[in-house]
Amino acid sequence: MATCLCDAFFDDVAKATVQVLEYLGVEVEFPADQTCCGQPAFNAGDWKASRKVVRHVVDAFKGEDPVVIPSGSCAAMLFHGALLEFEKEDDLPEVQQLANRSWELLDYIVNGLGVTEWPGSFPHKVSFHRSCHLRGTCSGPAALQLMESIDGLEIATFGEAEQCCGFGGAFSVSHPNVSGKMGQLKIENILAADPEYLVAADMGCLLHLGGIVDKGGKNLPRFHVAQVLRDALISANLLPAD
């Protein structure tokens, strides 16, 4: 699943995801009927609208294959949120079936495929923002494990790393002041660590943090972990640069 943010803004992240998975020998299908995971409406409290979208997701991703998602929050929507809003619905079993085979990308690579090391090099200092939807899942450690195994990649840790970036979907507009202040604080902490790139595994966080950086006229390039993995592959000639 590409996620709607990649569909709308971050096509290169989706591309990198496909390339990384294919390098690992995974055959990637992209069901053209996919739209969004339903999370915006779910978080906004409009579960009726959200269930409509989730039903569509169930339909678009029929079958037994794993559904791999380059976003912690969209993945969590499928394996956790959707179950919550379908608790009392008749089609809960179908949603549960999809939940059982939904994976966040890095969790899938490390714990699904058993790949724990990554070839190539990425000679840069990066800060990794552990998105909140990775809390309590295996994705955060998986992302770090892979990145730490890449030649030349240096992780710059920063203060208050546990804190949320302040995005929160509709929260970012219903509570623009709190959301903005949370984001500023995060950016200050990250900039203090002086990384070359800000890396995360959720484009929601990066959209929000990137928006604050750009608005403030600061310079902090952003990367999804998939893009780092892809560039490392290119550096080792395991993937053609295009």
Partner 1 sequence: MPTKSQQEIDRFARDLKPDVYQSVYGGTKATTEKRYEVLFRDYPDPDLLRQTAGQIKQHTLENLDKYLPQAEAALKANGAQVHFASDGDAANRMILEIMKANGCKSMVKSKSMVSEETGLGHYLEDNGMKCLETDLGEFIIQIDNDHPSHIVKPVAHKNRRDIAKSFEREGLGDYNDDPETITRRARKFLRGKYFEADVGLTGANFVSAESGRLTIVTNEGNARFCMAATPIHIAIVGIEKLVPHDRDLALFTALIGRSGTGQHLTSYTQFIGGPKREGQPDGPEQMHVIFVDNKRTEVLASQCSEILRCIRCGACLNVCPVYRQASGHAYRSVYPGPVGAVLSPLLAGSRFPELADLPKASSLCGACNEVCPVNIPIPDLLLRLRDKAKTEHAEKAMKGTPPMGMFGLLASQPHAWRAAMTMGAAMNLTPDAIINIVPPAAAWNSCRQLPKWRGGKFRNWMKSRSKN
Per CB under 8 A, which of residues 89..118 are in contact with partner 1?
A: none
Q: Is 110 exposed, middle or buried (0-12, 13-18, 19+ CB in 10 A)?
A: buried
67 touches partner 1 by CB under 8 A = no
119 touches partner 1 by CB under 8 A = no
Rounded least distance, CB 165 to partner 1, Å: 8
User: 157 to 196, contacts with partner 1 by CB under 8 A?
Assistant: 160, 162-164, 166-184
65 touches partner 1 by CB under 8 A = no
Residue from 75, 95, 132, 229 binding partner 1 (CB under 8 A): 132
CB 126 within 8 A of CB 153: yes
- Determine which helix (DSSP H) or strand (DSSP E) holds 126, and give its type and residue range: strand 125-129
What is the C-alpha separation between 134 and 17, in angstroms, rounded?
18
Q: Which residues pair with 68 in a beta bridge?
A: 103
Residue from 215, 218, 236, 237 binding partner 1 (CB under 8 A): 215
218 touches partner 1 by CB under 8 A = no
In the block, residue with structure tokens 């979208």: 53
**Region from 39-47, 113-121, 148-156, 231-239 binding partner 1, contact rule CB under 8 A:** 39-47
- Which lies closer to partner 1 via its Cβ, residue 156 or residue 170? 170
233 touches partner 1 by CB under 8 A = no
72 touches partner 1 by CB under 8 A = no
Q: How many chain residues interact with partner 1 (CB under 8 A)?
A: 72
CB 150 within 8 A of CB 232: yes
5 touches partner 1 by CB under 8 A = yes
- Which lies closer to partner 1 via its Cβ, residue 123 or residue 221? 221
135 touches partner 1 by CB under 8 A = yes
**Region from 91-99, 110-118, 156-164, 229-237 binding partner 1, contact rule CB under 8 A:** 156-164
The dihedral over CA atoms of 56, 110, 205, 102, expressed in degrees to the nearest 10, equals 10
Chain centroid to Cα 112, Å, comes to 16
- Which lies closer to partner 1 via its Cβ, residue 35 or residue 116? 35
DSSP strands (E only) in 33-110: 67-69, 102-104
* Long-range own/partner contacts, residues 81-89 (CB < 8 A, 24 or more apart): 81/38, 81/39, 81/42, 82/37, 82/38, 82/42, 82/54, 82/57, 85/42, 85/47, 85/50, 85/51, 85/54, 86/51, 86/54, 89/51
- Which lies closer to partner 1 via its Cβ, residue 11 or residue 117? 11
